[in-house]
Amino acid sequence: MDIHKLILENLKSGIISFDVDGNILYLNPMAEKILHLNREELINKNYKDVLNQYTEFEDLVYDMISENKTVRRGEMNITHAEFILRIGYSSMQIKDTNQSIVGYTLIFQDLSIISKHER
């Protein structure tokens, strides 16, 4: 495994990368943990088919892909199994050497865990 992949695999933030059609290309272990999802079941699947249990998250990905909207820093609540998680996130476009958009990446953290550690 190359060093770049190891860095992504060990980040304490969740990362999900999508192609221009919304298919999931990469999901790191922290994204899997925060969202309680299995990455083997998500890779190459469209976000609409696998993130629909997180409406707020799905809407964010929709805006990113359909409207080329990126967010430098945002926060949202997502609900999972009757628990509300406060998520901090940012999104970006992935561009090739010609500056054409070839995908999107969403980086996020569970802020509810961070605030518990800060208390």
Res. 1: pLDDT tops 80: no
DSSP letter assigned to residue 100: -
Q: What are the start-end ranges of the E strands in 20-73?
A: 24-27
The count of domains in the chain is 1
Res. 21: pLDDT tops 50: yes
CA distance 51 to 77: 15
Residue 69 belongs to domain with CATH number: 3.30.450.20
Confidence of residue 113 (pLDDT cuts 50, 70, 90): low
Q: What is the mean pLDDT of residues 73-85?
A: 84
pTM of the full predicted structure? 0.85
pLDDT of res. 80: 72
Q: What is the mean pLDDT of residues 13-38?
A: 94
Q: What is the mean pLDDT of residues 85-102?
A: 94
Q: What are the start-end ranges of the E strands in 11-115?
A: 14-19, 24-27, 74-80, 83-95, 101-110
Q: Which domain holds residue 36?
A: 3-118
